[in-house]
Amino acid sequence: MNRIPVKVWFDLKHNDGIPKYETSGAAGMDVRANERGTLQPKETKLIPTGIFMAIPDGYEIQIRPRSGLSFKTKFRIPNSPGTIDSDYRGELCVIAENIHSSVEFNYALGERIGQIVIKEVPQIVWDQVMSREDLPETSRGTGGFGSTG
């Protein structure tokens, strides 16, 4: 198993502990709300987590929904997965929305509101060709948006 060290500082207002893998096979760590609050119907807002980190170059942290929370409520993370770049040093916040509900969504201090996953992200080096015909052909070709069935 590949483990990536990430420098982190916590400014937590709750006693629910730092993010951790809940099982040995978990891909993500749950992150918790560092405040209590309400998402009104049709509202989108940032929810702070109290986590500040230095992600190593060549990696990103992805913020994703927790499947159980998404299944049981209308709480959504709209830009999923959200990317936290390696050069960002601000607080990790979760973009949350309640736009598919007509009732408010209340979240508690320390409530698990999302999960984070670390991913390696190689950078592109363009190898420009002289024309479109110089791109290698594939069986799919230019077929897109439902062309494969």
3-state secondary structure the chain: CCCCCCEEEECCCCCCCCCCCCCCCCCCEEEECCCCEEECCCCEEEEEEEEEEECCCCEEEEEECCHHHHHHCCCECCCCCEEECCCCCCEEEEEEECCCCCCCEEECCCCEEEEEEEEECCCCCCCCCCCHHHCCCCCCCCCCCCCCC
How many whole angstroms separate alpha carbon 112 and alpha carbon 75? 12
Its pTM stands at 0.86
Looking at the DSSP bridge assignments, the partners of residue 53 are 8
Backbone φ and ψ for 110, nearest 5 degrees, come out as 85, 0
Which pLDDT does position 85 carry in this prediction?
Answer: 97
Which pLDDT does position 74 carry in this prediction?
Answer: 80
Which pLDDT does position 61 carry in this prediction?
Answer: 98
Residues in the chain: 149
Structural domains in the chain plus CATH codes: 7-123 (2.70.40.10)
Which pLDDT does position 141 carry in this prediction?
Answer: 86
Question: Per-residue pLDDT for the chain (149 aa), expressed as one digit of tens each?
Answer: 789 999 999 999 998 888 999 999 999 999 999 999 999 999 999 999 999 999 999 999 999 998 888 778 888 899 899 999 999 999 999 999 998 888 899 999 999 999 999 999 999 999 999 999 999 999 888 888 877 77
Which pLDDT does position 89 carry in this prediction?
Answer: 98
Which pLDDT does position 1 carry in this prediction?
Answer: 76
